[in-house]
Chains A and B, each alone.
Chain A
Amino acid sequence: MDLAFTPEELAFREEIRAWVKANLPSEISQKVHSAMRLSRDDLQRWAKILGKKGWLGWGWPEEFGGPGWTAVQKHLFEEECALAGAPRVVPFGPVMVAPVIMAFGNAEQQKRFLPGIASGDVWWSQGYSEPGSGSDLASLKTRAERVGNKYIVNGQKTWTTLGQYGEWIFCLVRTSNEGKPQTGISFLLIDMKTPGITVRPIKLLDGECEVNEVWFDNVEVPAENLVGEENKGWNYAKHLLAHERTNIADVNRAKRELERLKRIAKTEGVYEDMRFRDEISKLEVDIVALEMLVLRVLSAEKSGKNSLDIAGLLKIKGSEIQQRYTELMMLAAGPFSLPFIFEAMDAGWQGDFPGHEVSNAPLAANYFNMRKTTIYGGSNEVQRNIVAQVVLG
C-alpha cells in the first residue's frame, strides 16, 4: 500500500503539466476559471489542439493511434487539464462512440470514422433518450427498418447535448420487437446532414440551449453504418457505459471548482463566517473521499486485484458534489447571484454588474444547470438500484 504516485507517474504528470501550460490558450482557460460562456469555437479549438498532439483520444490504445496510457496516466492527464482550466472535452466522439467502433466496428468503419474523431474535426452527438424513454432507455421506439442496403429511420430523440453542432450522431434504434426490449436494439451511425433530420434546440432553465430534440422522418441510412450486429446494440451501449467509470466522477474538476468556491467566498466576505466555512469543509472532505475512491478504482485496474464494482457510487457522489459546489458558490454571493443579465456571462462584457462583481453573473445559472447531473447518465435513483443489486442480490 502506498499513496504516492511512482517517480515515473510524477514525471509523466510534469510532462503533461508543462504541455498544457504551453498549449492551452489563456482566453479559454480564463473563461473556464470564471465559468464564462464557452462557444462552439472555444470547444473545437481546444479539441483540435489536443487532436494535433494525438491526445484528444487520450484513452485510446496505440493500435488506433492513441497514446496507450495506463489508467493512472489517463487520470493524471485529466487532472492536469482540469486544474489548468481546460474545457471538458465533449465526450461523444473520443470517449463514447470511438471505443464502441474500436471494439465492435469493422475495419472499414474504424478507418472511416476514427481519424475524424481523433483530430477533433468531426463533431459527434449522442442519440439515446427519447420523449418516452428516459431511465427506461430500453423501451426506445425510434424505428430503423431494413430496406435493401439501407435503413429507414423514423422517430424522435431528445436531450441530445450540443446536438445543434453535431455533424454525426450515434443512435440506439429499434430493429426488432421480438423478445425482451433490450434484444431488439441496434447501434447506428447517422450523418446529420441526411435529409429528413430536424434539430430543435431546447432552452433550459438557465436560459442556455445545451440540449436538443432530433427528429428522424424517413431518414435513409446506408446499412454499412450499422455497428456490429443487428439487435446487439444494447450490449455495445453497455460496453460504452463501462468505459465511463472514473471519468464520470469528475473529481478533478471538483478540485478546481473548490478552489474557485474559496475565492468567491473570500470576495463575498463569508469565508471567515464559520457557518459558511464549515459547509466548504464538508464539501472538501467529500471531494477528498471521492478522490480516494477514484484512486482505489485506478489502483484496482492497475493491479488487476480487488476489482471494485462501484461505478454507481462514483456517479452518485460525483454528481452530488457538482451540485453542491455550484450551490455554495451561489449562496456565497447571495443576492448578488440573482441578477439575470444574459450577456454578462460572455467574457469581456463591459457592463456594470450589480454589486460590481461580474464573476457572480453565472453563479445561479451554473447552479440551475447542474441539476441535470443527478438526472442524466442513469439517474441517481437508477444508480442506487444498481448498487443495491450488487449488495443485496
Chain B
Amino acid sequence: MDFDFSDDQEQLRDAVRKWVDKGYTFDRRREITHAGGFDRAAYTELAELGLCGLYVSEDQGGMGMGPVEGMVVMEELGRGIVLEPIQHAFIAGAVLEGYAPDALKAAWLPKIAGGEAIVVLAHQERKSRYNTHKCDAQAQQQDGQWLITGTKSMVAVGDHADAFLVPAMASGKLALFLVAKEAKGCTTSGYGTQDGGRAAELQLNQSPASLLTLDGQTALSHAVDIGIACACAEGVGVMDKTMAITVDYMNTRKQFNTTIATFQALRHRVADMKMQLELGRSMSYYASLKLNTPASERHQAMARAKYQLGNSMRYVGQQSVQLHGGIGVTDEYIVSHYFKKLTQLEMTFGDTLHHLGEVSASMQETAGVFA
C-alpha cells in the first residue's frame, strides 16, 4: 500500500505540465474551440511527448506504461482543460494490444503511438445511452469480409479521426471491429461540444470492417473502464485547477471592504469543495489502481469511482461559479470553461445515476477498498 509516485512518474508529470503551461495556453485553447474544437498540431505535440503510445507496447513503438502513468497524464491535461482526446489513444492502444489479431496490431499500433493515426472508440448509440450491451449496429460477413451498418453518436473528434473502434452485433452477439475512415459507406458529420471540444455522428452503411474480437463485450467493457479511469483522473486535474482559480479570486475580490475569502459562509463552501476534491482524488487513485484487476472487480471499482467523481465534479464546478459571482457566468473569464468541462466529464463514460445503478446491481455482503 503506497500512494507515492515514482521518480519516473514525477518526471512524466513535469513534462506534461510544462507542455500545458507553455504550449496550451487559454488563448490557444480558445482559438482551437473557435476553429472547431480540435487541433491536429496540438495532438501531434502530445504524440511527440510520447503520450499517444503510453499504453502501446515498446515492441510496437510505444512506451509500454500502465494505468498510473495514464492517470498522471490525464490529471495534468485536465489542469489545462486540453481538448485533444489522448484517452482514446490509451483505449485504442490497450484494446488492440489486448484483443486484436497480430496483423491488426502491426497495422495500427505504431501509427497510434506516433500520433499519425487517431483511433477513437465509437460505441455510443442514441438508444443505448451508457449501456455497453445495447447495440443496434449490425455486422454481417460477406465473402469473408465483415460489413457494418449503423450509427454511432458523440464520437470524440469523429470527423478528424483516422479509424474507429466500433461495436456491432454479429449473429446476435456483440463483436468489436475497427473501421477506417476511408471505408466505403463511412461518413461523419462533426459538431462542437459544450466543453469547447469536438465530436461527430458516425454513419456506417455496409462499411467494410476489420474484426478485432468476437468477444466484443469483454473488450468493450475494458475499453469503457479505461475511459472511466481517464475521466476520473482528468476530472481531478480540472477540479484541482478550478479550486486554485477560485481560491485566488476569493483572496483578491473585495466586497463590504474586505476580501470575500474572509466570509464564513463562503469559507465553509470551500471546505466542502476541498472535501469533494480529495474524495474524488482518492477514488481516481482507486480506479487507476484497480484497472488491471479481473473484469468484475474492475467494473465494480469503476462504477464506484465514477459515481464519486460525478458528484465531486458537479459540486466543485457549480460552487466555483457561485463563489465567483457574475464573472463566473461569463464566457470571457476562465472559470466557466472549467465548469463546462466538469459538466461534460460527468456525462462521459456513464453519468452518476448510471453508475449508482451499477454499484447497486453489483452489491455484495461486504464492501471496502479491497472487497
Q: Are A296 and B272 in touch, CB under 8 angstroms?
A: no
* Chain A binding surface SS class: helix
Could you list 29 examples of A-B contacts with CB < 8 Å?
A3-B370, A4-B1, A258-B367, A259-B365, A262-B363, A277-B363, A280-B360, A281-B307, A281-B359, A282-B356, A285-B359, A287-B368, A288-B367, A289-B282, A292-B283, A292-B285, A293-B278, A293-B279, A296-B3, A296-B282, A300-B3, A306-B3, A313-B274, A313-B278, A387-B271, A388-B267, A388-B271, A392-B267, A393-B261
Q: Please, how many angstroms separate the alpha-carbon atoms of A298 and B4 in the complex?
A: 11
Interface-forming stretch among B101-109, B162-170, B243-251, B325-333? B243-251
Q: Are A299 and B247 in touch, CB under 8 angstroms?
A: no
B248-278 near A? 1/0 per residue, CB < 8 Å? 0011000000000100100110111011001
Q: Are A3 and B290 in touch, CB under 8 angstroms?
A: yes
Min distance, Cβ B227 to any Cβ of chain A, angstroms:
19
B294-332 near A? 1/0 per residue, CB < 8 Å? 000000000010011000000000000000000000000
Q: Which of A280, A299, A317 is within 8 Å of B2, CB to CB? A: A299
- A285-B307, A299-B1 given; A391·B270 CB < 8 A: yes
Q: Please, how many angstroms separate the alpha-carbon atoms of A238 and B53 in the complex?
A: 50
Q: Are B1 and A9 in touch, CB under 8 angstroms?
A: yes
| Residues of A1-43 whose CB lies within 8 A of B | 1-6, 9
Min distance, Cβ A113 to any Cβ of chain B, angstroms:
34
Chain A residue, CB-CB nearest to B282: A292
Query: Which B residues are in CB contact (< 8 Å) with A295?
Result: 1, 3, 369
- A258-B367, A274-B360 given; A298·B304 CB < 8 A: no
Determine whether A343 belongs to the interface, using a CB cutoff of 8 Å to chain B.
Answer: no
Q: Which of B3, B5, B289, B366 is within 8 Å of A259, CB to CB? A: B366
Query: Which B residues are in CB contact (< 8 Å) with A316?
Result: 271, 275
Q: Are A5 and B275 in touch, CB under 8 angstroms?
A: no
Q: Are B4 and A388 in touch, CB under 8 angstroms?
A: no
Q: Are A255 and B271 in touch, CB under 8 angstroms?
A: no
Interface centre among B1, B261, B357, B366 (most CB of A within 10 A): B1
Q: Are B4 and A306 in touch, CB under 8 angstroms?
A: yes
Pair count A-B, CB < 8 A: 144
Determine whether A217 belongs to the interface, using a CB cutoff of 8 Å to chain B.
Answer: no
Query: Which A residues are in CB contact (< 8 Å) with B357?
Result: 278
Q: Are A255 and B366 in touch, CB under 8 angstroms?
A: yes
Q: Please, how many angstroms separate the alpha-carbon atoms of A384 and B363 in the complex?
A: 32
Given contacts A284-B304, A285-B308, A291-B368, 6 further A-B contacts (CB under 8 A): A3-B290, A281-B363, A289-B286, A292-B286, A313-B275, A391-B270
Query: Which A residues are in CB contact (< 8 Å) with B4?
Result: 1, 299, 303, 305-306
Determine whether A381 belongs to the interface, using a CB cutoff of 8 Å to chain B.
Answer: yes
Q: Please, how many angstroms separate the alpha-carbon atoms of A384 and B370 in the complex?
A: 30
Q: Please, how many angstroms separate the alpha-carbon atoms of A274 and B370 in the complex?
A: 25
Determine whether A312 belongs to the interface, using a CB cutoff of 8 Å to chain B.
Answer: yes
Min distance, Cβ A210 to any Cβ of chain B, angstroms:
28
Query: Which A residues are in CB contact (< 8 Å) with B3?
Result: 1, 295-296, 299-300, 306
- A280-B363, A391-B270, A392-B251 given; A288·B278 CB < 8 A: no
Min distance, Cβ B159 to any Cβ of chain A, angstroms:
37
* Chain B binding surface SS class: helix
Q: Please, how many angstroms separate the alpha-carbon atoms of A127 and B9 in the complex?
A: 49
Q: Please, how many angstroms separate the alpha-carbon atoms of A306 and B282 in the complex?
A: 14
Q: Please, how many angstroms separate the alpha-carbon atoms of A286 and B304 in the complex?
A: 9
Q: Please, how many angstroms separate the alpha-carbon atoms of A5 and B357 in the complex?
A: 30
Determine whether B68 belongs to the interface, using a CB cutoff of 8 Å to chain A.
Answer: yes
Min distance, Cβ A384 to any Cβ of chain B, angstroms:
4
Min distance, Cβ A343 to any Cβ of chain B, angstroms:
31
Query: Which A residues are in CB contact (< 8 Å) with B6?
Result: 1
B-side interface size class: 35 or more
Q: Please, how many angstroms separate the alpha-carbon atoms of A288 and B306 in the complex?
A: 13
Min distance, Cβ A303 to any Cβ of chain B, angstroms:
5
Q: Which of A3, A310, A384, A387 is within 8 Å of B1, CB to CB? A: A3
Q: Please, how many angstroms separate the alpha-carbon atoms of A317 and B360 in the complex?
A: 21
Q: Are A288 and B1 in touch, CB under 8 angstroms?
A: no
| Residues of A88-123 whose CB lies within 8 A of B | none
Q: Are B367 and A287 in touch, CB under 8 angstroms?
A: yes
Interface centre among A255, A310, A312, A384 (most CB of B within 10 A): A384
- A72-B1, A303-B2 given; A262·B365 CB < 8 A: yes
Query: Which B residues are in CB contact (< 8 Å) with A194?
Result: none
| Residues of B227-251 whose CB lies within 8 A of A | 243, 247, 250-251
Min distance, Cβ A150 to any Cβ of chain B, angstroms:
43
Query: Which B residues are in CB contact (< 8 Å) with A385?
Result: 264, 267-268, 271
Q: Please, how many angstroms separate the alpha-carbon atoms of A255 and B68 in the complex?
A: 27
Query: Which A residues are in CB contact (< 8 Å) with B283?
Result: 285, 288-289, 292
| Residues of A293-321 whose CB lies within 8 A of B | 293, 295-296, 298-300, 302-303, 305-306, 310, 312-313, 316-317
Query: Which A residues are in CB contact (< 8 Å) with B267?
Result: 384-385, 388, 392
Chain A residue, CB-CB nearest to B288: A1
A357-393 near B? 1/0 per residue, CB < 8 Å? 0000000000000000000000001011101101111
Q: Are B2 and A289 in touch, CB under 8 angstroms?
A: no
| Residues of B1-42 whose CB lies within 8 A of A | 1-6, 9
Q: Please, how many angstroms separate the alpha-carbon atoms of A317 and B285 in the complex?
A: 18
Q: Please, how many angstroms separate the alpha-carbon atoms of A335 and B261 in the complex?
A: 46
Chain B residue, CB-CB nearest to A293: B282
Q: Which of B2, B264, B356, B370 is within 8 Å of A281, CB to CB? A: B356
Query: Which A residues are in CB contact (< 8 Å) with B286?
Result: 3, 288-289, 292
Query: Which A residues are in CB contact (< 8 Å) with B360?
Result: 274, 277-278, 280-281
A328-358 near B? 1/0 per residue, CB < 8 Å? 0000000000000000000000000000000
Query: Which B residues are in CB contact (< 8 Å) with A303?
Result: 2, 4
Query: Which A residues are in CB contact (< 8 Å) with B275?
Result: 313, 316-317, 387
- A281-B356, A284-B363, A287-B368 given; A1·B289 CB < 8 A: yes
Q: Please, how many angstroms separate the alpha-carbon atoms of A303 and B304 in the complex?
A: 27
Q: Which of B250, B251, B367 is within 8 Å of A255, CB to CB? A: B367
Q: Please, how many angstroms separate the alpha-carbon atoms of A349 and B308 in the complex?
A: 42
Q: Please, how many angstroms separate the alpha-carbon atoms of A303 and B3 in the complex?
A: 9
Q: Which of B285, B304, B366 is within 8 Å of A285, CB to CB? A: B304
Q: Are A310 and B366 in touch, CB under 8 angstroms?
A: no
Q: Please, how many angstroms separate the alpha-carbon atoms of A53 and B250 in the complex?
A: 54
Interface centre among B308, B356, B359, B367 (most CB of A within 10 A): B367
- A255-B367, A259-B366 given; A310·B304 CB < 8 A: no
Q: Are B243 and A391 in touch, CB under 8 angstroms?
A: yes
Min distance, Cβ B353 to any Cβ of chain A, angstroms:
9
| Residues of A248-287 whose CB lies within 8 A of B | 255, 258-259, 262, 274, 277-278, 280-282, 284-287
Q: Please, how many angstroms separate the alpha-carbon atoms of A127 and B295 in the complex?
A: 53
